[in-house]
A and B are shown apart, each in its own frame.
Chain A
């Protein structure tokens, strides 16, 4: 089975500047987060995938079809650009119906779809206002609406949560999660890691035009051997537990934390640690209040791989 998006050694240069370097990836159905700092190549990749940039080298396919100059493909793709792209002197309704008319929809169907899309992003009451009067959050929601309005199977969303207030963010996150349930493929970029973490565990990490990693956040974390796993515990006798743990070869460091009941353990084998821990708790009669993995998250994966 082919993944909806496939690229093969995709490279893009802007003159002497490298935008993408030999990017080979597959994006499966569901939500995939494209992560990277500013200038990493996220937008370049998205613009190649939406047929707006031609790769300098390599190939990119959507549903097995080449992208460049394949305009029919865009019947099934929705794209939300990073920056505003509006005719300020039109209303939200005119903007959306105008774009929908570029698809093979009748005017009645375009109107129906525009209404549904505006309702989805909760902009229906403001549909007849000029876009120039829209707030930043409303503009962002309108951009998302235009990407959704033709009911595409693949959505490419470039920083879709930019400029939204917390409530607006929650709405859009919920909306994007619903798309996953509708069996759609969503590729979204962001440099705000908690936002992506709230949406998906499948990520593609891009930095300086290269793919550093792709896959499940936790799997990726497990594969990073150069950085031991950090596990924080809160229990009634941390010193005793620390003394017991240092005997194990897979325990690299044990710190007694700032709190009298806290303990921080560094291990290069998380699975063995978590196999041992219940035994120790039972044998020693410990009362454990909390176990957390502060570096088993997107931020840590990102920091380790980007080399911060």
Chain B
């Protein structure tokens, strides 16, 4: 028998752990998104509604100066929580959010599946939840820049332009409502995009899916509503469901008179489905049989 060298000594050290192991994944995702062609232009364009609504706030405080120039909408005369709800539920905002998803989220999981990088991630001190949190945070970053940040800035500018806290005295929950709606809106769209991203290795196909499902849900609703006139068909539309979430938070009139609870349950079901699928699909090894 050969004499073996026993060079190994038992290691008694402690395993170090990164405090936020998801952060490098998020940072890489954000960096790669900004590198995409046209993204900076698209992202800047998506902030246009915020500029328009900011101008609205400014005009509301300077009505006397503008009275002669334009017919002022009644919404501007008395800016309330509904005004901020109107910003967050604007069709253009959702449309731009979907476009941003196409840029920032389509390849998040699909590219890892395509390039087999999951096995490298999971051969490092990283849990599945860290990986998913890292990927989700990329989408959160961009969608919060689109919803939460402008929403809160609009509230702050309203206070600055009016020079009083009347808005907050009348709507003390308004900042929380902006936060809650932005969170729910972002959570749903993140789950939606990551779910679709995990279903294919082809980032372009996922881009088409993200945009197509959004568009198709609305078209289907419009066609069926035109035939059957049932308001419950609104539940087929992503746009209508997201708008309904804002109803209890901003005191808005519900579209089609639908109860918002149905939409909340439906969107929660999609988020839960996405979580289940992601946990199943995201693994280090794709087994070749």
A to B contact number (C-beta, < 8 Å):
119
Residue of A nearest to B131 (CB): A102
Q: State the Cβ distance, A49 to closest chain B Cβ, in Å.
A: 10
Which residues of A from 251 to 271 have beta carbons under 8 Å from B? none
Establish whether residues B115 and A77, one from each chain, have CB atoms under 8 Å apart when the complex forms: no
Q: A79-B123, A219-B1 are in contact. Are A153 and B24 (CB under 8 A)?
A: no
B119 adjacent to chain A (CB < 8 Å): yes
For B38, what are the chain A residues with a Cβ–Cβ distance below 8 Å?
A: none
B21 adjacent to chain A (CB < 8 Å): yes
Residue of B nearest to A86 (CB): B115
Q: A15-B289, A30-B7, A88-B115 are in contact. Are A99 and B2 (CB under 8 A)?
A: no
Which of A68-76, A229-237, A290-298 lies at the interface with chain B?
A: A68-76
Establish whether residues B124 and A87, one from each chain, have CB atoms under 8 Å apart when the complex forms: no
Establish whether residues B7 and A75, one from each chain, have CB atoms under 8 Å apart when the complex forms: no
**Chain A residues bordering chain B, tally (CB within 8 A):** 48
B120 adjacent to chain A (CB < 8 Å): yes
Which of A50-58, A112-120, A162-170 lies at the interface with chain B?
A: A50-58
For A94, what are the chain B residues with a Cβ–Cβ distance below 8 Å?
A: 28
Establish whether residues A28 and B284, one from each chain, have CB atoms under 8 Å apart when the complex forms: no
State the majority secondary structure of interface residues on B.
Answer: loop
Residue of A nearest to B6 (CB): A1
For A98, what are the chain B residues with a Cβ–Cβ distance below 8 Å?
A: 24, 28
A-B contact pairs, 7 of them (CB 8 A): A52-B119, A73-B15, A73-B125, A99-B120, A99-B124, A103-B16, A153-B11
Binding site for B on A (CB under 8 A): 1-4, 14-15, 17, 28-30, 47, 50-53, 63, 69, 71-79, 81, 83-90, 94, 98-99, 101-104, 146, 153, 183, 185, 216, 219
Known: A14-B289, A85-B115, A87-B115. 11 other contacts (CB 8 A): A29-B7, A30-B4, A30-B5, A30-B7, A50-B119, A52-B122, A52-B283, A84-B116, A86-B115, A98-B28, A102-B21
